[in-house]
Amino acid sequence: MQVIPYFENVGLSRPTEIQEAYFEQKSPYTILLANTGSGKTLAYLIKLLQILDQEKTPEQVLVLCPTRELAQQVAKVITALRTGRKTVLCYGGHSSKNEADQLSQHPQIVVATPGRILDHFQRGTEGLKAFTHLIVDEYDKTLEMGFLKEIQEIHSFAGPLASVQLISATKIDALPAFINSFQFETLDFLDEEKPDITFYSVEAVGHDKLFALVSHLSTIQKAGPTLIFCTHREAADRISQHLKEYGKSNVLFHGGMDQAERERALVKFKNGSENLLVCTDLAARGLDIPDIDAVFHYQFPHTLQDFTHRNGRTARMQKDGKVFLIHSAEEPLPEYTQKLKITSLKAPEIIGNFKDTGWMTLYLTVGRKDKIRKMDIAGFFLKEMGCSSEEIGIIDVLDAYSYMAIQEKKYRKIKESLHKKKIKKVSVRISVCR
């Protein structure tokens, strides 16, 4: 199979060295270890297509992901590849009935979180075959104790597995017995592609860690997309609120939020209307945010593995990145950081002014079900509202609604004219995304 057309479909000219090496690996039972941002998703999906193209009869593929965000991203990549193979996405918080309707059409590829797809298997949802190809993305996370029992039960619904791919950015000591029975070939690129990260420790002198975090953030004049990691949801809530009280706008992202809240946070962060995401380790994996300028550790993770995944959000795709470790004078840095070259900084004694992004996000009550496309929304704002192309940002069209980034100054000028409008003859309400 020629792989170049698939890369062209997603706007790339050719595979990376890691991807080429993975494609050349002939074993259908493979483990791919590579850093975040190295193109692992494309690698395993295109390898899957190579395997499927050799089969005489179409078999069913199950792609397991530990989070709904990663599952959504994998499904988007499959769509972008234009494989022509029917794909269904299943995850908690999504309509189970809608998923069942799509599964009844016997898709070849099913992308799912473990809990949701197990529920479909247990219900006997029509269209789920005894899958014969299995991919476990972020397998170190997916095979942790919280998921292990579910994965074992899912495996009981499989047919003879013709291929298994395990993908991760970190190693685990041992595989579960039901997986380890396969003769895996491992491609380990972790030591070959060190990300270009500069590490800094920011010590809170005479103040608490929160003041140190806020005062240091205020010194960054050209702040790009930035992540602030907390270990606990309650801490993330508290830090987000305190930042707002200090005048720093931000969005919050953790597993205690409902799907709609998490969706809105990611939309604002990805489209640039917010440049600060306060999060737990849920954001360390599977989010398609390629250009993170800096990662802050407000609370340190318990393991080097989690520390590595957090840091892997920056310095992606041959870019450099910065990692800041916020700590008090009485709080030693974790032992797993001892081998790193870390530059020590003192937090400023005062908090400066924060710069706004200059963008905001609008919510529109039309989507794909209304036959609305990105170009329809862009055309409406360009032609009817007098916007220039520079004043319109990223547009996200979902099933029932859409989001659009717009320059704040422009929105203030046109907001009174946005009532009782139509896009492609469909009535639309337009409001500021909450």
CATH number at residue 264: 3.40.50.300
pLDDT in tens, 290-313: 678 999 999 999 988 889 889 988
Do both 249 and 139 map to the same domain? no
Do both 178 and 200 map to the same domain? no
Do both 262 and 372 map to the same domain? no
Main-chain dihedrals φ then ψ at residue 349, nearest 5 degrees: -80, -15
Do both 165 and 270 map to the same domain? no
The alpha helices in 133-273, defined as continuous H runs, are 139-142, 145-155, 177-180, 209-217, 233-245, 259-270
Q: Is residue 329 part of a domain?
A: yes
Q: Is residue 403 part of a domain?
A: yes
Q: How far apart are CA 218 and CA 220, in angstroms?
A: 6
**Model confidence band, residue 230 (pLDDT cutoffs 50, 70, 90):** very high
Query: Which residues are 344's β-sheet partners?
Result: 201
Do both 367 and 313 map to the same domain? no
Query: Is 358 a residue whose pLDDT tops 70?
Result: yes
In sequence order, what E strands does 14-136 have? 29-33, 61-64, 87-90, 109-112, 133-136
Boundary of a domain, candidates 164, 188, 212: 188
Q: DSSP letter at 205?
A: S
What's the structural domain count of the chain?
A: 3
Residues 6+ apart with CB under 8 A from 365: 400, 401, 428, 429, 430
Boundary of a domain, candidates 188, 216, 244: 188
Do both 280 and 415 map to the same domain? no
Do both 49 and 176 map to the same domain? yes
Boundary of a domain, candidates 288, 321, 346: 346
**Model confidence band, residue 332 (pLDDT cutoffs 50, 70, 90):** confident
Global pTM reads: 0.74
Do both 165 and 20 map to the same domain? yes
AA letter at 6: Y
Q: Residue 292: which domain range?
A: 196-346
Q: Is residue 106 part of a domain?
A: yes
Do both 318 and 300 map to the same domain? yes
pLDDT at 145: 56
Q: Is residue 351 part of a domain?
A: no
Residues 6+ apart with CB under 8 A from 420: 427
pLDDT in tens, 112-139: 999 999 999 999 999 998 899 999 998 8
Do both 147 and 208 map to the same domain? no
Tokens at residue 103, please? 């599964």
Do both 367 and 286 map to the same domain? no
Q: What is the dihedral of CA 64, 70, 72, 74, to 10 degrees?
A: -70
